[in-house]
A and B are shown apart, each in its own frame.
Chain A
């Protein structure tokens, strides 16, 4: 909660902890569902429209990766775990799929292992652009991949005032 006091924005004590987890089939039909679920959970932090869009896009990228690359043609479970600690939002998207052989290479802009499918190879670049941190853990051989991203909501938001000070 923010209080406007004498020209400065003060943070009232706001120890807010919350978490949620969802699991769903790795079907592209569920990409929209995943975005909206995470966005709904994020609402309690009073994000701006832009912050919601940023998080939805990053989640969309990670979920799409799990579906296209992690599981390829198979239908298995994608897991999303979200947690909130004060204004810090953390989302972790994980799968038990194929795994990434070379994470550094995978995160290179425009790199894709599926150029024949007209993939832009920009998934990780988008995640890095829209979230504060992106951590990828992956192991080839059926252990899967986990993408953990954080974003501080309300960082750098300015108060507009029309009163003369």
Chain B
């Protein structure tokens, strides 16, 4: 997963296709980055994405992005 951390802001660069197959992986890696850094803001960059189904909605809806305590 391509991402960039700048201060307390995480930018996630979503891949070309966002579906059930890679949604889990994206979420896990995002969680890992968030738990390692003090992240307050998350930006989802869909520039490269040309397909997404409701699994992507699951990622964005914050179910998978857990704020660091």
Which residues does A use to contact B, with CB under 8 Å?
A: 28-29, 31-32, 35, 53, 56-57, 60-61, 64, 67-68, 115, 118-120, 122-123, 125-126
Residue of A nearest to B63 (CB): A118
Complex alpha-carbon distance, A105 and B19, angstroms = 23
**When the two chains form the complex, which single residue of A32, A53, A120 contacts B54, counting CB atoms closer than 8 Å?**
A120
* A26 shortest CB reach to chain B, Å: 11
Check B40 for interface membership: any CB of A closer than 8 A.
no
**When the two chains form the complex, which single residue of A29, A61, A67, A118 contacts B27, counting CB atoms closer than 8 Å?**
A118
Cβ A61 vs Cβ B21 within 8 A: no
Interface string of B31-56 (1 = CB under 8 A from A): 00000000000000000000101110
Complex alpha-carbon distance, A61 and B54, angstroms = 7
Residue of B nearest to A118 (CB): B63
Complex alpha-carbon distance, A68 and B58, angstroms = 14
Cβ B27 vs Cβ A60 within 8 A: no
Check B61 for interface membership: any CB of A closer than 8 A.
yes
* B23 shortest CB reach to chain A, Å: 8
* 29 pairs, A vs B, C-beta closer than 8 Å: A28-B21, A29-B21, A31-B20, A31-B21, A32-B19, A32-B21, A35-B51, A53-B51, A56-B51, A60-B19, A60-B51, A60-B53, A61-B53, A61-B54, A64-B19, A64-B20, A64-B55, A115-B63, A118-B27, A118-B58, A118-B63, A118-B64, A119-B58, A120-B55, A120-B57, A120-B58, A120-B63, A122-B57, A123-B54
Number of interface residues of B (CB under 8 A): 15
Contact A32/B58 with A64-B53, A126-B53 known, Cβ cut-off 8 Å? no
* B60 shortest CB reach to chain A, Å: 9
Cβ A57 vs Cβ B63 within 8 A: no
Contacts of A60 in B (CB 8 A): 19-20, 51, 53
Contacts of B17 in A (CB 8 A): 32
User: Other than the known A31-B20, A35-B51, A60-B51, what 16 A-B pairs have Cβ atoms closer than 8 Å?
Assistant: A28-B19, A28-B20, A29-B21, A31-B19, A56-B51, A57-B51, A60-B20, A60-B53, A61-B53, A67-B20, A118-B58, A120-B63, A122-B54, A122-B57, A123-B54, A126-B53
